[in-house]
Structures are given as structure tokens and as C-alpha cells.
Amino acid sequence: MKRLLSDPPPRRRGWRSWIAALLGGAGAAQAAPETPVAPTPPPATRAPANAASAPAPVVAASASAPVPAAAPAAASALSRASVVIYKTTPDAKLKLHFARPEPDQFPGLRPCVVFFHGGAWRSGDPKQFMVYAQKLAEVGVIGISAQYRLMRDGDDLPLHAVQDARSVMRYLRAKAAQLGCDVQRIGAGGGSSGAHLAAMAAVGNAPPVAGKPAAASVLDDPTDDLSISPRPQALFLMNPPLNLERYDRPVPVEQRRQLSPTVLMDATLPPTWIFHGTADKVVPFSQVTEFRDRARAVGGGEVTLQAFPGRNHGFFNAKRGDGGDFDATVTGIVNGLKKLGWIDAKP
């Protein structure tokens, strides 16, 4: 990938050092746990992916604005599928993996939450979040785990991963009825770098202007239908990197601001739940308190921060420890869905 701006090339180090420097690392200041610019278009990058094509409904850009209700979905191949290709790139067919509620117990269009896996934008796969998707299916939510393009050697920032995350959201909106999703109840989440991608779908969206086409953005795949908003109606983020601008290496700060949710957010930020370890040495706890405080300042959706005392990065994974943190995170997500009114509030 070419650099986003024409700054001097970053100093090359091992990719693990790159990630540690970008996210702050152990040396970054951490806040004590307590109860959060418009991007500049870059030169052209490598060949764009071909987004899945379908007649797409127009969805309001603001999460708080009314969204047209979808018609009841007929039983279709998509509504029964466990894997769907949402986008074809020169390198791969990118897939969504579904965990579906029992239709007899949860009939009709259902809320949907799509998760993006972690791995520092360079590794990992959708298997990581299928266990979360399956847990949500048990309470009547269509759980989805998404594949996206990973960074390659020579890539400076995960721009293509961000574009893919926004393509996922547009695909879910365009195909909502066929997939069995309620277009008014589509959320996004993930862990670590995947949480960053979910947040990037919710920010950096220019408001619609009547009678004019949506403005193109460096964050969007050039083949996406920009009349469809990528913004989810809720976010569920686990130890998310939210501000990439503060660290002086190895990528120039102006480039990192273009992919920093804290910098890009505005009043259209949807309700957000964050689950974060207070001892995280990869993404300092201060990043999430900064994000929460900025959301309050700009009038965005409420940010609910659930701190996990003494926990480090990746605490939320199902196979960590005795599984208690995983259970607590699932419970926090389910409680958020109940608060939104997306699922039955009864135990």
C-alpha cells in the first residue's frame, strides 16, 4: 500500500515493534481506571476491490435518524446460509460467517451484530469471534464474524481493512431483508484491531446533502455504493485502539489521524459499549477514557465503559484463564442489547 500522504517514509522495524509503537506500548501513559478532522484524500492505492452488487436501499447516515423499516424476509438462500461472500477483491473472496437463532423461537427479522477479529491487522481469522456470534444467536441475535484484508509487508496503515469493514456494513444494509436482519438494528464490534475497524465504520461519515451524491472518502472502497451508510447503530468494542495520532513513530501523525476514531468522531457516534483491561500494555486504558470523554463533549451516543481491573490485552477471549472474563464480556454485550431494546429484557 502506498503511504496516505507524501511524508518521509517511516523507519522500518519489526511489525511487532511497529504495532507497539503505533498503539502506545507499555511506555505510554495510562490513566487511572475510572467509573472519548476530516481525512485528507491520499494518492491512489492498489487496485480496488469489487464490492458485491445489489439493489441497495438508502439508509440515513445518522444512527439517531429514522431508518426505513425492512419488509419481512422470505425464506431465502441468504437467510439460511452460514457463509456468504460479501466482496471480491483481486486477492480473495471475503466472507461473512453467520450464527443464526432458532427460527421457531425467534421468528421474523432479527437484530444483527457483526464482529471483526483481532491480530494487529496482520493476522487472525473470523474463527476468533464465532463463539461470540453463537452466544448472541442464543438470545435471538444474528451473530456474524467477518473476514477482511490483512496488512502486507510494506503496508503502513490498515486502510484496506477499514474499507472492508465499511463494505461489510453496507452489504448488511443492502441485503438486510434477504439475510434476515432488521435494518434498524445492525451493530458492530470486535477485539483489538478488529474493534478499531468496527469503530471506523461509525466515524468519518460526511452528512448527506439533499440532491447531491454522497462525498467520497479515503475510508471507502471506490466501488461501494456511497448512498448506503456504513454506520452501525451500536458498537461493542473490546480493548480497542481508538487514537493512533499520539505516537511519533513509525507512521507520520497526519496519516494516523485519518484512521483515529477519537479524532474523527462527531455527534453521530452511536451508543457504544467498551470492555477494557486497566492493565492493558498494548492499548493504554487512557485511550478509552479519552474516547468516552470526547463523545460526551461532541454530543455523541452514550459510551458505557466496563473496566476489567488488572486485566491485560486480549482478556476477553474465550480460552483465556477460567473463561470468567469472556462470560462477563458476553453478559455486558447482552445487557447492552437489552438496553437498546433489541432483545427481550427478561432474564
pLDDT value, residue 208:
64
Q: What is the pLDDT of residues 80-98, one digit of tens each?
A: 889 999 999 998 999 999 9
Cβ atoms of 333 and 236 closer than 8 Å: yes
The CA dihedral of 286, 302, 193, 242, to the nearest 10 degrees, is -40
Q: What is the pLDDT of residues 186-203, one digit of tens each?
A: 999 999 999 999 999 999
Q: What is the pLDDT of residues 13-48, one digit of tens each?
A: 455 655 665 665 443 433 333 333 333 343 333 333
For the cut 70, the answer to whether the pLDDT of residue 72 exceeds it is no
Q: What end-to-end distance do the CA atoms of the chain give, in Å?
A: 48
Nearest to 22 by CA among 158, 118, 162: 158
Instruction: Give the residue-averaged pLDDT of 158-180.
Output: 97
Starting at the edge strand found earlier in the chain, the sheet holding 181-191 runs 50-51, 83-88, 93-99, 142-146, 110-116, 181-191, 234-238, 272-277, 303-308
More confident residue, 248 or 175: 175
Helix (H) or strand (E) holding 237: strand 234-238
Q: How far is the CA of 74 from the CAs of 104, 168, 184, 206, in angstroms?
A: 14, 22, 18, 34
For the cut 50, the answer to whether the pLDDT of residue 135 exceeds it is yes
Fold of 76-207+214-340: Rossmann fold (3.40.50)
Cα separation, 33 vs 27, in Å, equals 17
Helix (H) or strand (E) holding 95: strand 93-99
- Amino acid at the residue 339: K
The per-residue pLDDT of the chain, averaged, comes to 83
How many CB atoms neighbour CB 333 within 10 A? 26
The reported pTM is 0.82
Cα separation, 198 vs 146, in Å, equals 11
Each residue of 48-65: b (16+ CB within 10 Å) or e?
bbebbeeebbebebbbee
For the cut 80, the answer to whether the pLDDT of residue 258 exceeds it is yes
For the cut 90, the answer to whether the pLDDT of residue 324 exceeds it is yes
pLDDT value, residue 303:
98
State whether residue 167 is helix, strand or coil. Answer: helix
pLDDT value, residue 213:
65
pLDDT value, residue 40:
38
> Which three cell numbers mark 81?
446460509
Cα separation, 232 vs 215, in Å, equals 19
**pLDDT bucket at 215, cuts 50 / 70 / 90:** low
**pLDDT bucket at 214, cuts 50 / 70 / 90:** low
pLDDT value, residue 45:
38
